[in-house]
A and B are shown apart, each in its own frame.
Chain A
């Protein structure tokens, strides 16, 4: 890495005029980036991190106004360059950009080939044939098999991971000096995320590019970035090398964020730290520190004066009053409060899923051929009273069909779901709804926007005609208090609430009938990490207080490690491994579980992005591989795996596993991972950063 500066931003601001006032999305950001370096910009939604990147390229929405003292990029001040020159000389040529949504970021009506080549031919200095050669070469480099024939394909023919690879190839067509990656892996599954991050890191080293990596994921940034800038409410609050910022965070916000991440503190018996409140809206005049209202250490001066920038060393600063008098105050209220230890004695089973299968018949168009899609294949599960069973798997694995079947919204082709001893299908809908309730992923679309909060939470009582009006109202208020909703929102509408509050409403609505079991379907994946922590804490508190049982569907293994008692791993409609949390997470028997664990990026600044163990994409459920459905991606697959599907087996430690090679999986893996034993998890084999640097 050279010490030559590539980018220097001074006092960059973005203001967006709205009907009533002006939103100050970015407020005086200073940034520096050296050649070959990766800068991670971290922050929650609304922190202005994407706006900063867009402002750099002058790609802001038309209404936004930008101002900057200087934006020096390789010797040119971009803030004074005309739009024409910026488009012709800088965008796509010297600075490439990758966006978050691979599904919508490619033009649907043009072929991949055209979109790749035009990035070069647009600037008029290379021939179409040259651009084509380069496109093929780059597609190969980003790991798309058979690149020449890919050029003729259209975006809708590719999966999300493949599209993101095309996006990366497109950004690299002109060998840019700087690559800006805005949440490049957020919309992807974890195994694909590992592949893409590893690819980006490799390409960067190979081409000597600088990179700005924008993300909300502290695990991602800890592995991929050399330096970090933490953004809050439009300003950078802390900068330094990755190790400095993550190992020794100085700003209360950075510390708060870290405490919110499940797994940052070792033991799961601790509550997660959380940051109270929400990111303030930056409109009008802002006095004092923008974080003061949420800061546990805020003193009087924090509300009055803008905080000073405190240097700690070269390129290591934080922006905080750091009041002397509150230095001893704990950042984490009650974080060391013990929670009921997991692995409680087994109680009676609440829900039993026995041999459930479901096959959909899918037909495209009126005259298309019928194809069968096996969504669930002989699934058996048991959830005991008071436990949290985590159901883990990537998108398309059948999680949603399974939860819908358990909720009684879908009838299985064969097999039974029994709830407290009675088949779910035979229960009258209202009684079923009283026993089992869902909490969905997206609190923005799962609440009726035209009903008040009180109405939404109380609706199940109305439907079931439980109690008089006044009594219902009291129960709703009590439930609101229990889930931490302020009483004043009783008559508010969902759009007046924050995402976290809405999810509390969804939880209150699910709990008001006192159900036997709650199905939480990715309840925190649409939320920021500080809000996720609040919701996870709430769910665990409620479990202890009300002796609840959860089926917790998630793709996030750090959440599983934090709250689950048992784990079931799903792949292509089958449960491939199921057992106690600690056993599954520390001694994974199925290679897929192992791969998921490797792909989950914990916060570890000393480690690099791990080598992805799984190649290829999640298969299309319509074209199920013969034999073991996992064999095309499995590093251990042999002839038997390719020809015959494995049977369910019970390991000595009580874990269910469906794999021919389960017996030797652990051993084989430890060979693969150069002497590491599975006991060493959660530190999968990595290349040390110092060693890998050129």
Chain B
């Protein structure tokens, strides 16, 4: 098991390094940070001076190692645009995003798992049809539209929740619901097909022949097998929510990482963009690692393989 964890962690580290170097190099070739700092109309001498001062004239690999060295010491650099340390910027915005993402995950799990399980227990019944219809509709409705409709209904017409902002828990209810439901179709379907597969398997027949039936059959024989793919997909969904809830944050005017990313891209604020990308990559890598470890704990074949 320890061996497995070490191997997976090493893989995760390699992925994170590769992706971060890739994005770093992309910025190096696609933009001119000296020009950005100096301003569009700055004279060439000034741009050259800045380039030399900031070290932008060095080879890309040297700059990357330099940057990585600072990052490892907790120094993510200064934002060109907001003129404050990137670390502070990220800390401010991360609180909102993490809160939103976790709440959204709860929404996803609470809706998708029961729906998927009941659909699998009675395939082609009305529960199943209802679940599938819900999934198709939820997939078809865009996030921003659902957000706007909820604002009109529950914040304007019936002012139960605030329209926008992120200053109290009430602000999080509608966006968490919107963000959470967007993952329901994928997770629900996977739960349904996964559990149906497991229920049709030979070892479930064996368990039934031993005398298992009803909820004990599901909880003590089937669920653990059915959970394996769900854990993986939930990790990916959580990663999306932590990194990519730009639309939802914009609709509800929440100051999360998604909006920070958009604004720093618009303003060519390279240190911030680079730090955010590294953060998103690390989030994904760590979540996948966590999912792998949970699955290894659930499934001896992975653990010992």
Residues on A with beta carbons closer than 8 Å to the beta carbon of B205: 59, 99, 105
In the complex, the 3 A-B pairs of residues with the closest C-beta atoms, listed nearest first: A92-B211, A87-B213, A92-B210
Choice from B207, B213, B225 contacting A109 with Cβ under 8 Å: B225
Q: Does A97 contact B (CB under 8 A)?
A: yes
Q: Does A142 contact B (CB under 8 A)?
A: no
Q: In the complex, A92→B212 CA distance in Å?
A: 9
Q: Mark A91-110, 1 if CB is under 8 A from B, else 0.
A: 11100110101001111111
Q: Does B11 contact A (CB under 8 A)?
A: yes
- Once A84-B213, A93-B211 are accepted as A-B contacts, the answer to whether A105 and B301 lie under 8 Å apart by CB is no
Q: In the complex, A462→B216 CA distance in Å?
A: 58
Which residue numbers of A lie inside 8 Å of B, CB to CB? Answer: 57, 59, 62, 83-84, 87-88, 90-93, 96-97, 99, 101, 104-111, 118-119, 122-123, 154, 156-157, 167, 170-171, 364-367
- Once A99-B205, A101-B202, A108-B203 are accepted as A-B contacts, the answer to whether A119 and B210 lie under 8 Å apart by CB is yes
Q: A107 near B300 (CB under 8 angstroms)?
A: no
Supply 24 A–B pairs (Cβ within 8 Å), ascending by A: A57-B209, A62-B123, A84-B214, A87-B213, A91-B211, A92-B210, A92-B211, A97-B206, A101-B202, A104-B201, A106-B206, A107-B206, A107-B207, A107-B225, A108-B225, A109-B225, A109-B301, A110-B224, A118-B220, A154-B301, A170-B206, A170-B210, A364-B305, A365-B305
Q: In the complex, A170→B205 CA distance in Å?
A: 13
Q: Does B164 contact A (CB under 8 A)?
A: no
Residues on A with beta carbons closer than 8 Å to the beta carbon of B202: 99, 101, 104-105
Q: Does B7 contact A (CB under 8 A)?
A: yes
Residues on A with beta carbons closer than 8 Å to the beta carbon of B52: none
A419 to chain B, nearest CB (A): 40
Q: A59 near B208 (CB under 8 angstroms)?
A: yes
Say whether chain B's binding surface is mostly helix, strand, loop, or mixed.
helix
Residues on A with beta carbons closer than 8 Å to the beta carbon of B210: 91-92, 118-119, 122, 170
- List 20 additional A-B contacts (Cβ < 8 Å) besides A108-B300, A367-B10: A84-B214, A87-B213, A91-B210, A97-B206, A99-B205, A104-B201, A104-B203, A107-B225, A108-B299, A109-B224, A109-B225, A111-B300, A122-B211, A122-B212, A123-B211, A154-B304, A156-B300, A171-B209, A364-B305, A365-B7
Q: Does B221 contact A (CB under 8 A)?
A: yes
Q: Does B156 contact A (CB under 8 A)?
A: no
Q: Does B65 contact A (CB under 8 A)?
A: no
Choice from A87, A107, A157 contacting B203 with Cβ under 8 Å: A107
B299 to chain A, nearest CB (A): 5
Residues on B with beta carbons closer than 8 Å to the beta carbon of A104: 201-203
Q: Does B153 contact A (CB under 8 A)?
A: no
| 8 A Cβ contacts from B284-305 to A | 298-301, 304-305
B269 to chain A, nearest CB (A): 38
Residues on B with beta carbons closer than 8 Å to the beta carbon of A59: 205, 208-209
Residues on B with beta carbons closer than 8 Å to the beta carbon of A57: 209
- Max chain B CB contacts within 10 Å: which of A87, A106, A107, A365? A107
Q: A154 near B212 (CB under 8 angstroms)?
A: no
Q: B206 near A91 (CB under 8 angstroms)?
A: no
Residues on A with beta carbons closer than 8 Å to the beta carbon of B213: 83-84, 87
Residue of B nearest to A123 (CB): B211
- Max chain A CB contacts within 10 Å: which of B211, B216, B225, B300? B211
Chain B residues bordering chain A, tally (CB within 8 A) = 28
Residues on B with beta carbons closer than 8 Å to the beta carbon of A157: 304
Q: In the complex, A59→B205 CA distance in Å?
A: 7
Residue of A nearest to B298 (CB): A109
Choice from B7, B123, B211 contacting A366 with Cβ under 8 Å: B7
Q: A99 near B206 (CB under 8 angstroms)?
A: yes
Q: In the complex, A503→B18 CA distance in Å?
A: 51
Residue of B nearest to A157 (CB): B304
Q: B11 near A366 (CB under 8 angstroms)?
A: yes
Q: In the complex, A101→B201 CA distance in Å?
A: 11
Q: A119 near B211 (CB under 8 angstroms)?
A: yes
Residues on A with beta carbons closer than 8 Å to the beta carbon of B298: 109
Residues on A with beta carbons closer than 8 Å to the beta carbon of B203: 104-108
Q: In the complex, A331→B135 CA distance in Å?
A: 60
Residue of B nearest to A84 (CB): B213
Q: A109 near B299 (CB under 8 angstroms)?
A: yes
Residues on B with beta carbons closer than 8 Å to the beta carbon of A119: 210-211
| 8 A Cβ contacts from B166-210 to A | 201-203, 205-210
B196 to chain A, nearest CB (A): 11
Choice from A62, A83, A92, A123 contacting B209 with Cβ under 8 Å: A92
- Max chain A CB contacts within 10 Å: which of B205, B214, B304, B305? B205
Q: In the complex, A111→B7 CA distance in Å?
A: 24
Q: Mark B47-72, 1 if CB is under 8 A from A, else 0.
A: 00000000000000000000000000
Q: B301 near A156 (CB under 8 angstroms)?
A: yes
Q: In the complex, A40→B214 CA distance in Å?
A: 32
Residues on B with beta carbons closer than 8 Å to the beta carbon of A97: 206, 209
Q: In the complex, A97→B212 CA distance in Å?
A: 13
Choice from B7, B123, B209, B301 contacting A108 with Cβ under 8 Å: B301
B194 to chain A, nearest CB (A): 13
Choice from B206, B212, B304 contacting A87 with Cβ under 8 Å: B212
B126 to chain A, nearest CB (A): 16
A36 to chain B, nearest CB (A): 22
Q: In the complex, A97→B202 CA distance in Å?
A: 12
Q: Mark B218-232, 1 if CB is under 8 A from A, else 0.
A: 001100110000000
Q: In the complex, A538→B68 CA distance in Å?
A: 72
Q: A91 near B300 (CB under 8 angstroms)?
A: no
Residue of A nearest to B4 (CB): A365
Residue of A nearest to B224 (CB): A109
B245 to chain A, nearest CB (A): 33
A112 to chain B, nearest CB (A): 11
B261 to chain A, nearest CB (A): 33
B296 to chain A, nearest CB (A): 11
Residues on A with beta carbons closer than 8 Å to the beta carbon of B216: 122
B40 to chain A, nearest CB (A): 48
